[in-house]
Amino acid sequence: MSNHLQFYIDGAWVDPAVPNKLDVIDPAHEEAYTAISIGSQADVDRAVAAAKAAFPAFARTTKAERLALLRRILEIYNERFEDIAQAVSQEMGAPLAFAREAQAWAGRGHLESTIKALEDYAFEHQRGTTRVVKEPVGVCALITPWNWPLNQIVCKVAPAIAAGCTMVLKPSEIAPISGLIFAEIMHAAGTPKGVFNLVNGTGPDVGQVMAGHPDVDMVSFTGSTRAGIIVAKTAADTVKRVAQELGGKSANIILPDADFATAVSKGVEGCFGNSGQSCDAPTRMLVPLDRHEEALTIAKAAAERHKVGDPRKEDSVLGPVVSQLQYDKIQRLIRRGIEEGATLVTGGPDRPDGLNRGYYVRPTVFGGVTPDMTIAREEIFGPVLSVMPYKDEEEAIEIANDTVYGLAAYVQSSDIAHARRVASRMRAGSVYLNYPDWDTFAPFGGYKQSGNGREYADFGIHDFLEIKGVVGYGEA
């Protein structure tokens, strides 16, 4: 039986307090394929009450008990791996190969890294005659986005479990089905009732209610900077902790000594991955002025290798973007780039040829982009790359840091020492040198308006803990 119209509260699937359905749209075909329920204040109250009641006992569990639970969750996750990949593909349009190898894999990877981090994590240490103790922060409201659903769900749920917290999860209402499958995994793994709860809904109807709830001790939010500001303001009245991973406009500095064919091509792939719907995507490619035309030639060829099409077809590299709202925003910004004088190298407005239905976007490359242009400053969240020329290294660093965001930065050089020197000057939470593999043990989070707090492995666990000093404890 489908749980799509129910919430998971206090260890059971329950009906919403007030029936209120929302269609879930398949972005590849622009058709509803199922519906979920939208929660209300009453549903949030019920879920928070369950988490609050479960907290005292769960907070006292041992590390060994929480490790055993996480290992059971990982076991069931692996059993449901294909179900997750299929759900992500349909709800957000990810090609099946990408849904398996990146989207579903991310949840598995973060469970594995959280388990490893917890195995080595020390919750107490001695400092002179004071005992420093790390304790679970309490009831946590977890608000996750649609673009990497399992990545962000697991990045919050796993460390919260590891820390001994209880929680209420609100997945994105745009891509909610993978979150419901995750709730089924939590149930099958034997998660104690009330420890994990899920209420579907919109930001105003559920997310803000969770953020302002007096019995919620912490909010962990991933989404747009605009929504993050609302969450922070709402949470402020009850002085709760707020951890946020928000927007980005990441610069990719290609230094003159880089292998240009590789650096530019991989930069295009990094920007276009997940149909450009990643907050840390390298969307601003900075290249030396005297090699600008060379970079555009390489970028054009790389972009045109990205076949856009039905995510269920094996030859599709990029699927649609997630919604009509996203599609319209991307189209508006592509047109703005043309209006403001950027050179359209490839792609452009409207759907790719042969695709008359679905939220498909042409893989687009702009050249000659200047720092004052809208496409260089706004987060587009689609397969749109801005190539920006720079005169020298100092100007490249200045342009890279000239943004309200600070989630990620990228540096390409054949000289690793050179790349490291430039990385030290990047105002970003993550700096990637020469396109490394995804590291689920690295800290992830942003500077400036890209948020606060850090996720992944032990960094994520730390965010869900309070620090207590027991002074006069005596010698250990």
At 171-229, the pLDDT tens digits run 999 999 999 999 999 999 999 999 999 999 999 999 999 999 999 999 999 999 999 99
Instruction: Tell me the one-letter amino acid at 202.
Output: T
Q: Judge whether residue 464 has pLDDT over 90.
A: yes
Report whether pLDDT(1) > 60: no
Taking alpha carbons only, the member of 399, 196, 114, 168 closest to residue 285 is 399
Taking only the tens place, the pLDDT of each residue in 376-402 is: 999 999 999 999 999 999 999 999 999
Band the pLDDT of 258: cuts 50, 70, 90. Answer: very high
Token output for 411: 């540096």
Note the pTM of the prediction, 2 decimals: 0.97
Report all structural domains of the chain as residue ranges with CATH numbers, in order of start.
Answer: 7-246+450-470 (3.40.605.10), 251-445 (3.40.309.10)
Active site residue 279: yes
Give the model's pLDDT for residue 314: 85
Read off the amino acid at residue 85: A
User: In this structure, which amino acid lies at residue 403?
Assistant: T
Task: Over range 154-172, report the average pLDDT.
Answer: 98
Candidate list 173, 245, 379, 455, residue with the active-site label: 245
Query: 129 Cβ partners below 8 Å, 6+ apart?
Result: 471, 472, 473, 474, 475
> Considering the chain, what percentage of its residues have pLDDT values greater than 70?
100
pLDDT computed for residue 476 by the predictor = 74
The closest alpha carbon to 295, from 264, 251, 327, belongs to: 264
Residue written as token pair 């329950």: 14
Q: Which of 112, 116, 35 is nearest to 81 (CA)?
A: 112
With helix as H, strand as E and coil as C, how does 74-115 read? HHHHHHCHHHHHHHHHHHHCCCHHHHHHHHHHHHHHHHHHHH
Residue burial 326-361, b: 16+ Cβ < 10 Å; e: rest: bbebbbebbeebeeeebeebbbbeebbeebeebbbb
Residue 432 has pLDDT above 60, yes or no: yes
Alpha-helix runs per DSSP H in 125-224: 149-163, 177-188, 208-212
CA 40 to CA 27: how far, in whole Å? 26
**Banded pLDDT at 2 (limits 50, 70, 90):** confident
d(CA 234, CA 105): 34
Q: Are 256 and 396 in contact (CB under 8 A)?
A: no
To the query of whether residue 165 is one of the catalytic residues in this protein, the response is no
Q: What is the mean pLDDT of the chain?
A: 97
d(CA 207, CA 199): 9
Burial classification of residue 125, based on how many CB atoms lie within 10 Å of its CB (0-12 exposed, 13-18 middle, 19 or more buried): exposed
Instruction: Give the model's confidence band at 161: pLDDT under 50 very low, under 70 low, under 90 confident, else very high.
Output: very high
Structure confidence by residue, pLDDT tens digits, 104-148: 999 999 999 999 999 999 999 999 999 999 999 999 999 999 999
Rounded-to-integer distance, Cα 363 and Cα 65, Å: 48
CA–CA gap between residue 428 and residue 408 (Å, rounded): 5
| Cα dist from 285 to 111, 224, 251, 357, 387, whole Å | 33, 22, 6, 31, 5
Q: What value does the mean pLDDT take over residues 74-95? A: 98
Region 257-269: mean pLDDT is 98
Looking at residue 340, the DSSP 8-state letter turns out to be T
Q: Which of 91, 165, 279, 455 is catalytic?
A: 279
